């Protein structure tokens, strides 16, 4: 999928070019005003670009030079907004099936019963939107977008108006859709917690342009991108699997650098879990530490050192995976730190909370 679009709105100029992967979730991430919503509105056909090209599966949906601009209802691009935007006079079932009329019968591939089951909507079909909770409305909106048989699903901060519990609920449904339906998703967000849990790929936007593209793990682990991902929240994203549970209420998460111990998770052994470790939660030792309360100690090397502000230093670490640490410049000087030096990275188990693992509420076993 090719995205190469330009648009000027007053003093703001959007000029982006990147390729979308054919599957998985791609996060469009950036601060407010970066151009995220403007971009997805152009992809959906709701806003006409000034120039460029947009193609899905080899079909051109927009080409300024060729004069192509396919109407929104003919693009087969589903769109889930921040708020549900359901038709208040229609039942949930009628809302769900509304967009299906625009999909050519010969190109239908979505099993309506499967979508309704995946989103847990069977008990809601006869109800009207006014009687639904915020989370239920968003599930219906997602279902309606999917039943329009989209080749691409756009989600513009769909969790922005929900509380933490409802966000976690919807994210579980989005994960199931990603894994079981296979429709590529472009997910707009300025929440690193959401991106860390959901995204396979990431497009980082700033001031109307693309700063970086790549896997979410790589983008979120790059120290040079902290000004755009958020200095306070800077850190690394690592892929782990539940290794086991101990009698002290801790869960071990295995990754190439060892086992990360965190507060207990009610998840079966082998479950994949992403852990976001903030740079400010990582301390450094230059010799094997002894007699300390910190359980997570990983041996590695310093790959890179980057000044961060007037008194801090960001360290890019290699501990089997990329890790970040933020310490004072004074500590770096007194420890004699330099690229290539062997170190031990120390991480408190209690610093890895449920939000760091993309879990806003305790997960339930099936």
Residue 361 pLDDT exceeds 50: no
Give the pLDDT confidence score for residue 131 in this predicted structure. 93
Mean pLDDT of the chain: 89
Q: Give the three-state DSSP class for 113.
A: helix
Q: What is the DSSP string of 13-57?
A: EEEEEEE--SSSEEEEE--TTSSHHHHHHHHHTSS--SEEEEEET
Residue 23: how many other CB atoms lie within 10 Å: 13
* Alpha carbon distance 60, 54 (integer Å): 6
Question: Model confidence over 3-23: pLDDT tens digits?
Answer: 999 999 999 999 999 999 988
User: Residue 121 phi/psi, 5° resolution?
Assistant: -105, -5
Give the pLDDT confidence score for residue 63 in this predicted structure. 96
Q: Residue 330: pLDDT band by 50, 70, 90 thresholds?
A: very high
Give the lowest-confidence range in 71-85, 128-142, 169-183: 169-183
Question: Model confidence over 227-261: pLDDT tens digits?
Answer: 887 766 688 889 999 999 999 999 999 999 999 99
* Alpha carbon distance 33, 119 (integer Å): 32
Give the pLDDT confidence score for residue 360 in this predicted structure. 47
Give the pLDDT confidence score for residue 362 in this predicted structure. 43
Q: Residue 109: pLDDT band by 50, 70, 90 thresholds?
A: low
Residue 365 pLDDT exceeds 50: no
* Alpha carbon distance 81, 116 (integer Å): 19
Give the pLDDT confidence score for residue 73 in this predicted structure. 85
Q: Residue 167: pLDDT band by 50, 70, 90 thresholds?
A: confident
Share of the chain above pLDDT 90, in %: 58
Q: Residue 106: pLDDT band by 50, 70, 90 thresholds?
A: low
């Amino acid at each position: 999928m090719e995205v190469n679009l330009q648009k000027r709105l007053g003093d703001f100029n959007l000029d982006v070019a990147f390729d979308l992967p054919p599957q998985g979730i791609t996060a469009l991430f950036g601060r407010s005003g970066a151009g995220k919503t403007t971009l997805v509105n152009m992809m959906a056909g709701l806003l006409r670009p000034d120039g460029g090209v947009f193609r899905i599966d080899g079909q051109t949906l927009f080409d300024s030079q060729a004069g192509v601009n396919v109407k929104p209802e003919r693009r087969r691009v589903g769109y889930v907004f921040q708020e549900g935007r359901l038709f208040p006079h229609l039942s949930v079932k009628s809302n769900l099936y509304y967009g299906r009329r625009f999909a050519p019968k010969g190109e239908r591939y979505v099993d309506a019963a499967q979508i309704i089951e995946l989103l847990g909507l069977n008990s809601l079909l006869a109800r009207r939107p006014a009687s639904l909770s915020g989370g239920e409305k968003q599930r219906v909106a997602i279902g309606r977008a999917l039943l329009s048989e989209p080749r691409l699903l756009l989600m513009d901060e769909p969790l922005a108006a929900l509380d933490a519990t409802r966000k976690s609920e919807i994210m579980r449904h989005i994960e199931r859709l990603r894994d079981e339906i296979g429709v590529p998703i472009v997910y707009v967000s300025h929440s690193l917690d959401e991106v860390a849990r959901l995204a396979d790929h990431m497009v980082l936007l700033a001031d109307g342009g693309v700063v970086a593209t790549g896997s979410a793990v790589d983008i979120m682990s790059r120290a040079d991108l902290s000004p755009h991902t958020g200095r306070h929240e800077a850190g690394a994203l690592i892929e782990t699997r539940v290794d086991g549970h101990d009698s002290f209420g801790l869960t071990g998460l295995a990754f190439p650098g060892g086992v990360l111990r965190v507060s207990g998770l009610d998840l079966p052994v082998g479950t994949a879990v992403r852990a976001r470790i903030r740079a400010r939660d990582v301390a450094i030792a230059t010799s094997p530490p002894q007699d300390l309360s910190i359980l997570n100690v990983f041996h590695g090397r310093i790959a890179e050192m980057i000044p961060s502000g007037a008194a801090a230093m960001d360290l890019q670490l290699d501990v089997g995976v990329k890790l970040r640490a933020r310490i004072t410049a004074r500590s770096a000087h007194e420890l004699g730190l330099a690229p290539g030096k062997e170190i031990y990275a120390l991480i408190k188990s209690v610093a890895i909370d449920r939000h760091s693992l993309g879990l806003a509420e305790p997960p339930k076993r099936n």
